[in-house]
């Protein structure tokens, strides 16, 4: 069965474009022009994932998410906005929004985020004994690497034989964002927003992120396979890429 996706955007062009992109990927897509319509739609239709514009007249994206968390807690949410701010990013993290994409997001970014959101939903449902929506790749909270390294993202622990390290919340968020989206290049600005919770300029972002990445890599020195998987993309940002 195709996953059901709801696009919520007050701009007709953006709404149509997102819908077309997702339909071409084989998803069952519906679209509404505002937050109130989104809430009414979710009350009467099963929705696996929503792509919601942050700034809309009436109910904004965060208000929509608050209501959806009550009436359909299994629905994953991706916030899409041209105006990333400290307050909205922190609130999105508190509401456990799956992803927070800055416009203009490329089709590949949207598609990758949707796939990971559906994977996270299916993993949670299976853990609870529910039914998954689609056969998509899961993003587990615990996994092992071929060299025996065990990663527990929920507890922020990494272990191999007698080696054990604990990650700080920021280090854990950084590693989780990268691991849950293998092969995706995140810009410095995107990572600051997702990990630290505030927006900054593309010029300032590398300076803010570099000390955090340096501390994480230092901790991962004892786990070479994991350390090598965090790849710096010169002048752009970082990606997670395991050796084949």
Counting the structural domains of the chain, the total is 2
Residues 58-78: tens digit of each pLDDT: 888 888 988 888 889 889 999
Residues of the chain with pLDDT under 70: 83-96, 127-141, 197-199, 243-244
Has residue 13 been placed in a domain?
Answer: yes
121, 149: one domain:
no
- Both 189 and 232 in a single domain? yes
Rounded to 5°, angle at Cα 21 from 15 and 22: 90
The domain that holds 215 is classified in CATH as: 1.10.10.10
Tell me whether residue 135 is in a domain. no
For residues 159 and 65, membership in a common domain is answered with no
Looking at residue 139, its pLDDT comes to 46
Say whether both 156 and 220 belong to one domain. Answer: yes
- Which helix (H) or strand (E) segment holds residue 150: the answer is strand 150-152
Q: Quick check: is 38 in a domain?
A: yes
- Distance, CA of 86 to CA of 200 (rounded, Å): 9
Instruction: Kindly report the pTM of this predicted structure.
Output: 0.56
Kindly report, residue by residue over 125-176, the tens digit of the pLDDT: 776 665 445 433 434 567 788 888 899 988 889 999 888 999 998 898 889 8
Cβ-based burial of 106 (10 A; exposed 0-12, middle 13-18, buried ≥19): exposed
Domain hosting 100: range is 4-127
């Amino acid at each position: 069965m195709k996953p059901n996706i709801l696009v919520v955007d007050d701009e007709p062009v953006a709404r149509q474009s997102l819908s077309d992109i997702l339909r071409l990927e084989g998803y069952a897509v519906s679209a509404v022009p505002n937050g109130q319509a989104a809430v009414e739609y979710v009350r009467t239709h099963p929705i696996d994932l929503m792509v919601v514009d942050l700034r809309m007249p009436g109910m904004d994206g965060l208000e929509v998410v608050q209501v959806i968390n009550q009436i359909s807690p299994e629905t994953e949410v991706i916030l899409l906005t041209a105006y990333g701010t400290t307050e909205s990013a922190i609130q999105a993290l508190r509401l456990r929004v799956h992803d927070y994409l800055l416009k203009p997001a490329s089709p590949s970014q949207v598609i990758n985020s949707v796939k990971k959101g559906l994977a996270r939903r299916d993993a949670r449902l299976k853990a609870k004994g529910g039914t998954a929506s689609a056969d998509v790749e899961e993003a587990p909270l615990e996994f092992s690497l071929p060299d025996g390294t065990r990663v527990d993202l929920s507890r922020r622990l990494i272990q191999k034989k007698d080696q054990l390290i604990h990650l700080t919340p920021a280090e854990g968020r950084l590693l989780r964002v990268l691991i849950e989206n293998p092969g995706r290049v995140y810009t410095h600005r995107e990572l600051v927003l997702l990990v630290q919770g505030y927006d900054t300029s593309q010029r300032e972002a590398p300076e803010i992120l570099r000390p955090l990445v340096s501390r994480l890599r230092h901790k991962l020195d004892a786990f070479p396979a994991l350390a090598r998987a965090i790849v710096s993309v010169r002048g752009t940002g970082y990606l997670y890429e395991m050796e084949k």
